[in-house]
C-alpha cells in the first residue's frame, strides 16, 4: 500500500510557512516526490500513476499561491503519462499485440515499470535544473535594467529580486535600496539583512509609507527610479500575485510613471487560473486582540497587469500581455500542448 506520510509532512510544513519562498517550496516538494518514487515499490503502472497524482495533489493543496510547485508537479505527471503512452505504442507497433495487450504488459512488466518510475523521479531534478538555469539568466538580464545611482524600492522577501539587486551592487552601480518591513510577519527584515550583509546601501521603510514614498510628485530628498519586487504567482493575463502591500506599491508606481519590474519566471505562471487569495490567522496581526474584534489578514494581493512594466524572466523582460505567447514558445506543456 502506498505511503503518503512523508509527503503529508512536507505539505504541512508548506501550509504553516515553515517552508516558504516559491523556490524553496518547489525544491521541498520535488525532493520528497523524488525520494518517495525511489523508495516505494508499486505493483503496476496504475498504482504508480495513482500515487504520483494523489501525492502531487497533497502538495498542491498545501498553499494556493505556489504555481512553481504546481507546474513542476504537472511536468512530472506529464512525463509519467507520456512514458506510459510511449511504451504502449512501441510494444504494439513492434509486435502483433493490440494496444490493449501492450497496456497489460506495461501493467505487469516490473523492469518497464521501474524504468518509468526512475524517469519520473528524474523529472523533478530536471525541473530543478530549469529553475537553476533561469535564475542565473534572470540575474544577468535584471541587472541590465538598473542604472548608476538608482534608488530602488523593494517589498517582502524574494531571493530572485535580492539577487538582482546584489548583482547590480557588485557591478558598481552605486544603488540604494528602500525595502518595506512587510508586516505582519516582517519578511522585509530578511531582505534587509541579505542586502546589508552584501554591502548594499539599504533603508527600511514602513509598509504604510511605501505608496507615498514612491510617488515622486511630492518634494523629497529621495527620488525613486524603479521598483523591483518578486512574486508568488503570475496570472496568464499578466496580473501579479505577491505579498499583501504589493497592490499599493504597484498603483503608486503606475500613478507616478515609475517602472515596476517583477523578478519572476514563466514557471510561476498560473495557467489554469486556480489561485485564490489566502487569508491567514488574525493572531499574526494581534494575538491579544479584544474578543469581539474581527481582523482581515490577507496574505497576498494582486498588482494589475497595467501597472507592470515588465516581468524579468530567463527569456528576457516580458510585457504582461506577451506571457501566453512566450509560454507557448518555450514551455508548451504548461498549456497542455506538446
Cβ-Cβ contacts under 8 Å for 199 (sequence gap 6 or more): 169
Q: How far apart are CA 273 and CA 47, in angstroms?
A: 29
Give the burial string for 9-21 (b: 16+ CB within 10 Å, else e).
ebbebbeeeebbb
Nearest to 130 by CA among 30, 14, 238: 30
Instruction: Name the burial class of residue 41, with classes exposed (0-12), middle (13-18) and buried (19+) by CB atoms within 10 angstroms of its CB.
Output: exposed
CB-side exposure of 138: number of CA atoms within 13 Å?
Answer: 29
Alpha carbon of residue 93 to chain centroid: 41
DSSP 51-114: HHHHHHHHHHTT-SS-HHHHHHHHHHHHHHHHHHHHHHHHHHHHSS--HHHHHHHHHH-HHHHH
Q: How far apart are CA 329 and CA 331, in angstroms?
A: 6
Maximum pairwise Cα distance, the chain: 82
**Cβ–Cβ under 8 Å, residues 282 and 289:** yes
Phi and psi at 322, nearest 5°, equal -100, 5
Cβ-Cβ contacts under 8 Å for 176 (sequence gap 6 or more): 150, 151, 152, 201, 202, 203
Of residues 163, 207, 232, 270, which has the active-site annotation? 232
232 as an active site residue: the answer is yes
The helix (H) or strand (E) run that includes residue 46 is: helix 45-60
Query: Which residues carry out catalysis?
Result: 232
Amino acid at each position: 500500500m502506498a505511503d503518503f506520510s512523508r509527503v503529508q509532512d512536507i505539505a504541512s510544513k508548506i501550509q504553516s510557512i515553515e517552508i516558504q519562498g516559491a523556490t524553496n517550496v518547489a525544491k521541498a516538494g520535488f525532493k520528497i516526490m523524488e525520494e518517495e518514487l525511489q523508495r516505494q515499490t508499486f505493483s503496476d503502472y496504475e498504482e504508480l500513476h495513482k500515487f504520483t497524482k494523489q501525492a502531487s495533489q497533497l502538495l498542491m493543496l498545501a498553499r494556493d499561491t505556489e504555481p512553481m510547485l504546481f507546474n513542476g508537479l504537472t511536468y512530472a505527471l506529464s512525463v509519467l503519462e507520456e512514458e506510459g503512452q510511449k511504451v504502449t505504442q512501441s510494444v504494439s507497433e513492434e509486435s502483433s499485440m493490440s494496444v490493449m495487450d501492450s497496456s497489460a504488459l506495461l501493467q505487469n512488466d516490473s523492469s518497464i515499470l521501474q524504468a518509468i518510475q526512475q524517469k519520473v523521479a528524474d523529472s523533478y531534478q530536471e525541473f530543478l535544473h530549469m529553475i537553476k538555469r533561469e535564475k542565473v539568466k534572470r540575474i544577468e538580464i535584471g541587472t541590465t535594467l538598473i542604472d548608476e545611482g538608482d534608488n530602488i524600492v523593494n517589498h517582502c522577501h524574494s531571493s530572485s529580486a535580492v539577487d538582482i539587486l546584489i548583482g547590480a551592487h557588485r557591478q558598481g552601480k552605486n544603488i540604494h535600496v528602500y525595502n518595506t518591513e512587510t508586516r505582519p510577519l516582517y519578511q522585509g527584515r530578511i531582505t534587509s539583512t541579505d542586502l546589508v550583509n552584501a554591502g548594499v546601501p539599504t533603508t527600511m521603510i514602513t509598509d504604510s509609507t511605501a505608496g507615498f514614498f514612491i510617488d515622486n510628485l511630492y518634494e523629497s530628498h529621495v527620488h525613486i527610479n524603479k521598483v523591483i519586487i518578486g512574486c508568488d504567482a503570475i496570472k496568464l493575463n499578466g496580473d501579479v500575485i505577491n505579498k499583501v502591500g504589493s497592490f499599493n506599491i504597484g498603483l503608486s508606481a503606475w500613478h507616478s510613471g515609475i517602472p515596476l519590474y517583477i523578478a519572476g519566471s514563466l514557471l510561476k505562471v498560473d495557467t489554469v487560473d486556480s489561485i485564490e487569495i489566502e487569508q491567514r490567522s488574525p493572531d499574526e496581526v494581534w494575538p491579544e486582540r479584544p474578543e469581539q474584534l474581527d481582523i482581515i489578514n490577507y496574505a497576498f494581493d494582486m498588482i494589475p497587469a497595467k501597472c507592470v512594466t515588465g516581468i524579468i524572466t530567463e527569456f528576457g523582460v516580458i510585457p504582461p500581455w506577451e506571457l501566453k505567447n512566450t509560454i507557448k514558445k518555450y514551455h508548451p506543456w504548461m498549456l497542455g500542448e506538446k
